[in-house]
Amino acid sequence: MAQPSPKLQQIAKDFQQIATMAGFLNSAFDAPQLRLLFTLYARVTVRDEVEGQAILPQLQTWCDRLSVNLREASSSAVLPPQVNYAPPQLLPNGEAWYVVATMTFNTKVTENSYQRVRSAVLAAYQAAAALREKGLPE
């Protein structure tokens, strides 16, 4: 198997760094492409289990919007994400509860086509980081 180009290796590192904002990334080189499988965590902290249950429809709407944005911004290079929702869970310290949506999506990029995907993925991870810090937008 041929070694990936230095540029493709750098692209993989760039995507790894982006993914650390709110999830992680699995990748594989398939010259001349880089296969990427992203996991993004959309997490919202709530006061109690009841509020967590009540916020699930809003979180689903947020995830649907993010999925559409990923597809549009990447010119459909990112395949439709799969989203799983966890029931409200108590934080380990017992001070609050949280609700998590786990979004997985994948794509392939080449040395020449990664910029559009990078911009879409970066925006998605930034949105997830903002969600974690500020909660759902009104």
Name the percent of the chain in helix, strand, coil, to the closest 5.
Answer: 45, 30, 25
Confidence of residue 85 (pLDDT cuts 50, 70, 90): very high
pLDDT at 52: 96
Q: Is the peptide bond before 4 cis (omega within 30 degrees of 0)?
A: no
Percent of the chain with pLDDT over 90: 85
Burial zone of 86 (CB within 10 Å; 0-12 exposed, 13-18 middle, 19+ buried): middle
Between the two ends of the chain, the Cα-to-Cα distance in Å is 51
pLDDT category at 70 given cuts 50, 70, 90 is very high
Distance CA 78, CA 116 (A): 10
Q: Tell me how far apart the alpha carbons of residues 71 and 112 are, in angstroms, rounded to a whole number.
A: 19
Q: Work out the mean pLDDT of the chain and round it to a whole number.
A: 93
Instruction: Report pLDDT for 132.
Output: 95
pTM of the model: 0.91
pLDDT band at 66 (very low <50, low <70, confident <90, very high): very high
Domains, the chain, in order of start with CATH, read 6-134 (3.30.300)
Collapsing DSSP to helix, strand or coil, 66 comes out as: helix
Q: Residue 1 has what pLDDT? A: 56
Structure tokens at 130: 């903002």
pLDDT at 120 over 90: yes
Instruction: Give the three-class secondary structure for 60.
Output: helix
